[in-house]
Structure 1
Amino acid sequence: MTAFPSSLPPSPAAKLRQDLLANRERALAQLYRHAFPLVRRHVCQQGGSAQDAQDVFQDALVVLYEQAVSGTLVLTASASTYVLGIGRHLWHHEQRRRARLPHEPLPDDFAPLAAEEVEDSTEPAFAVRDYVAQLGEKCRSILLAFYYFQQPLTQIAEANGYRSVRSATVQKFKCLERLRESVRAAFRAETIDY
């Protein structure tokens, strides 16, 4: 009869969780050294910038960290390969999102229009900047900072008083969804024939 060891070595995911909980800075620095060059190479090969690669990598690292700490992470490869996979997915999603947005820069004198100016405007009613102008100040600020001024999420989080980059990312997504929904609603209203 063969005796089994009383304790099995931890799985790679469990080991990563232990490392993150024991010394988060060291574990994240090690992940950065190994995984960031892979993510940067992929994003740059797919038409992104070094700043895009940093943003994608940070978002991927947040996903990995949250899964590892919550105990839901399942690794079938190295943590670096896992981060690269998340980064590829996030960059693909970002490219699709960018393809849907108009590439026309906002004018220098961009200011919110009053409701009567929107109605009396000779411009087409489907001007995205009008919908951005109708968002609340916080959402307008976040979306303009990220998409128009191309500020990194770390800077946006700090400027808006968020505790983490993840919080700023979630708020940016919510604001973008509000903008998309108002554009969709207006577009449906304009295309319905009575």
Structure 2
Amino acid sequence: MNTKKIQTGYEDQDIIEAINHSKNLDPVIRHLYHTNFDSVASYIRANSGNDEDAEDFFQEAIVVFINIVRKGNFRGDSSIKTFLYSIARNLWRNELKRQNRVLMRETNYYEQTEKEEQDIQESIGEHEVKDQLLHLLEKLGDNCKKILLLFYYENLPMKEIFQHMGYETEQVARNMKYRCMNKLKGLLNEHPEMKQSFRSLLANG
């Protein structure tokens, strides 16, 4: 087979023969990259992706294409360019679906957590448990105590709290607050009398 011909890229059949019979696929892969990457990258960038995504998924598409050819499943009904583009497009669509599923799970988790925190916030304002809660907050450590007091007692938004706490971003502060809330819930589980007070307040709230 003429390797130089593959590098300049003329016939699809030459590429198929090289994949099936050649031990060195570098010239073929360079040719596929040169003739197909731009269209795949444009599609991925136009559909919520970036340059790094384009590189990763184009490389994955080439691996899938080579495997299909070697298994004898490439029938040649379409050009290699069209076929490779379709593989990359399907891989990226599956990735977007996966990302959406992850986002939905995270959204559901945060919505549930926000509801729990709203319930706790209402309870925290009740005078009969306020002093006891302050005592529990002491056990969480200075950072957790400070971030929860700023949020629940001073009613500061997270965009102010992260600056107050010296965190790099609002998301860092938000993640810290969730961890602190989980620690607080753990302490409440260790103090049934406090937990019961919360349930009573919520039931009457």
Q: TM-score, normalised by structure 1?
A: 0.46
Structure with the higher helix share, 1 or 2: 2
TM-score calculated relative to the size of structure 2: 0.44
